[in-house]
Amino acid sequence: MQPQCGATREGFQVGRAVFRGGVHPPEHKEATAGSPITWAPVPGKVVIPLSQHLGAPCVATVAPGDHVVRGQIVGDIEAMVSAPVHSPVAGTVAEIGKTLTAGGTYVGAVTIECDEVQDLESFAAVPDTGDVRARIRGAGIVGMGGATFPSVVKLTPPAGMEIHTVILNGCECEPYLTCDHRLMLEQPERIMAGAVHIQKIIGAGRVIIAVESNKPDAAESLRAVAAEGVEVAVLPTRYPQGAEKQLIYALLKTEVPHGKLPAAAGALVHNVATAASIADAVEFGRPLTDRIVTVTGAVARPGNYRVVLGTLVSELIEHAGGLVGDVERVISGGPMTGMALGSLDVPVTKGMSGIVALPRGSTAPVLSDDQPCIRCGRCPEACPMGLEPYAIANYAARRMWDSASDRRALDCIECGICSYVCPTKRPLVQLIRMAKTAAMAKGVKS
C-alpha cells in the first residue's frame, strides 16, 4: 500500500497504513508517558562493558588502581566499526575482568568504585580537532534505539552513494517504552540541533523527523523548535513503524533494495536520542556516559530515568521501588524485540532503552517442544518484510540451513511479529535467528 501522507506548511499529516504487514499490539505506555525524566542515583560502583556496540570490542586503556574522571576513555580500539567507552563517573578502577550482559554473553568490562561526591554536569571533553566525525567517534556515539551501530560509520556512507534524505526516528513503536517520547517533549531543541549537524555532515537536502500518531504532543514540541527545512512527519501508529526499511518506505515511497543498506535508497536513519547525543558531542565534546531508560511494568514506581551507564539493572529496579507481585520475566528493551534477562545483575548499556517487568500470565507460555504449524497464514500476512516465517522456521527446525537461506532468512529484522500472531505460539523468531546464525557462519550474504 502506498503511503498517503500529505505535506502541509506545518509538516506531514497522519495518513493511512504506510507499509505492508505489521500489527498494533496494546501500547501499555500510559504508566510512564507522563513521567518526566529524572536522574537515577549514582551507584557505589559501575560495571562498564567494553563492547556496547556492533563491531570490534574495545580494549581497556586503564588499569586497576587508576583514578578516572567522568568522561575519560576507559576502553578503545582502532577498528573502523567500533566505538570507545568512557567512565560515567569519577572513581577508582577496581577491576579489569568480564561481565554478563543483557544478551546473555560475557564480555570484557571495567569495574569502577565511584567517588562519594559526583558532579554529573562535569566531564572530560572530547578534543575538538576540527573534524566533526572524529569528535562524534571520540564521544562513543552509537545508535541508541537498540541497534548500537557506531554513528560515525553511518555518517560515512560508501563512496558513490548520495544521501538525499536524513530521517530521525521518533516513532518508538515498541509497547511500554516512552524514553524517546519524553526526550522529544523535554529536549526537542537538542534533537533539532542534532538533525542540523547530521544534515551538514551528510550534505542531504532534506530532513524528516518521524513521530507516530499516538504522540501528538511530541510532534508539536518538535514543530515549535523546527529548524528551517526540517519536516515533522506524523505517521499512523503501527508496529514496526520504526524499523529502518519500513520507515523509509512510509516516508519516501522507496524500497531499500534487497540485501542493501538504507544508503542505497538515498536515506540515512538515526534515532532521536542518537541525534541529541550527536549534538552534545559536536557542540560540547560530551561523551556518551548516560542514557534515558524506561523502567515499567510490575514495578512500584514506573518512570523514565536518566542513568549513568554501568549501573546494574537490579539497582535501577530498586530505585524504581522494586518489583511488585508475581513477576514472570524482566526484559531489556521492549517486549517485541527485547531480551529476557537471566540475571538482574547486568549493567545498563548504551543501547538499553527499557527495563520491562512482566507479571505472570502476561506472556506466552514457554513450551518445551516445538508445536506444529497449522498453516493459518497469519505470519506471512503480518510480516513487514514479506517473508514466510513458518517456512524458514520449519527448515531451521530440521537444520536445513540452505533451504532457510533460500527463503531469505537473512532479510528477517527480528521484529517478533510472527511469534506474536502465531496461534500455536511457535518460537518462530528463535528458529529464524538460528537460521541466520548458520547462514552468516557459512558466509551467506543478505
Q: What is the pLDDT of residue 445?
A: 57
Which residues of the chain have a pLDDT value below 50? 1-17
State which CATH number among 3.30.530.20, 3.40.140.10, 3.10.20.600, 3.40.640.10 fits the domain covering 292-359: 3.10.20.600
Q: What is the pLDDT of residue 444?
A: 60
Cell numbers describing residue 335: 517486549
Q: What is the pLDDT of residue 370?
A: 64
- Domain range 45-114, CATH architecture: Beta Barrel (2.40)
Measured distance CA(334)–CA(3) in Å, rounded: 26
Closest CA to 150 of 288, 290, 308: 288
Q: Report H helices in 203-253.
A: 216-224, 244-252
Q: For the chain, which residues make up each domain, given as ranges? A: 7-30+132-284, 45-114, 292-359, 378-441
Q: 7-30+132-284 with 292-359: one CATH topology?
A: no
Q: What is the pLDDT of residue 260?
A: 85
Cell numbers describing residue 421: 500472531
CB count in 10 Å sphere of residue 6: 9
> What's phi and psi for 115, nearest 5 deg?
-60, 155
- Domain range 7-30+132-284, CATH architecture: 3-Layer(aba) Sandwich (3.40)
> pTM higher than 0.85, yes or no?
yes
Q: What is the pLDDT of residue 440?
A: 87
Q: How far is CA 47 from CA 37, 50, 89, 310, 312, in A?
A: 23, 10, 11, 4, 8
Q: What is the pLDDT of residue 250?
A: 94
